Structure 1
């Protein structure tokens, strides 16, 4: 009887850990960032930020802490609520440095988004975010 209980607990732990890893990989991949831009959640986006991040929104540039950057992006999403975000290009300069280019569309405007980050322990840490107003 004890063996069945141990096997049951072991299977439960294995299943729980595999579910946790699949959830973590969503937060550590570009698909997660795309989803966050589509939903317009500054709180979820900030999970991808490095401890310090350079943000440039239409020429208004600044170096921000993770918390400050979340507030900047909250204001951006509030002013330009998302309609869609499409990833256009992705690449890497080295094994650690990565970049992504996408289109963020709000009701009024289309923005080109340039994301620069680094791979760190199976995760993406964004250190630069450029959002440039385009033509709709």
Structure 2
């Protein structure tokens, strides 16, 4: 019997196994945002991350940021995620903007990623409530 990546539910695999099927950090973020998995998103956080989630705003450790994101997901169960904008340039930064639909609201998620020495880390993560259309 042949097993292909198309037959595997990547959302239910542990991070290390699911990452075998993920081509870049954008794919990983989309999967983990949709799953509402703060722990796996936090694996990409830099040691200290600028985090803004609705009224919470500041510079946090990786662990603190994970706890705040977990709290957000517990109150706003994700339903769908869509990539709105991706900006990569010759600098060491990439920027992603997602639209996150939850059971209660529509959110805009902004992520700033630094790339250095073949590693990527989230330096800034913002979640803002978006007006419904």
Q: Same fold (TM over 0.5)?
A: yes
Q: As a proportion of its length, which structure holds more helix?
A: 1
Counterpart selection for 2:60 from 39, 58, 64: 64
Alignment of 1:107-118 (within 5 A): 107-118=103-114
Aligned to 1:75: 71
Structure 1 portions without partners, runs of 5+ = 1-19
Alignment of 1:7-26 (within 5 A): 23=19, 26=22
- Give aligned pairs, total: 117
Structure 2 portions without partners, runs of 5+ = 1-15
Moved more, 41-50 or 54-63: 54-63
Aligned to 2:97: 101
Distance 1:110 1:37 in 2: 13
CA RMSD of aligned residues (A): 2.2
The structural deviation recorded for 1:96 is 1.0
Which entry has the higher C-alpha Rg, 1 or 2?
A: 1
The structural deviation recorded for 1:27 is 8.0
Check 1:33–1:72 CA distance in 2 against 1; reply closer, same or farther (3 A cut). same
Distance 1:55 1:93 in 2: 23
Check 1:26–1:120 CA distance in 2 against 1; reply closer, same or farther (3 A cut). farther
2:108 touches 2:130 (CA, 8 Å); kept in 1? yes
1:100 touches 1:114 (CA, 8 Å); kept in 2? yes
- The structure 1 segments of at least 4 consecutive aligned residues displaced by more than 6 Å after TM superposition are none
2:100 touches 2:109 (CA, 8 Å); kept in 1? yes
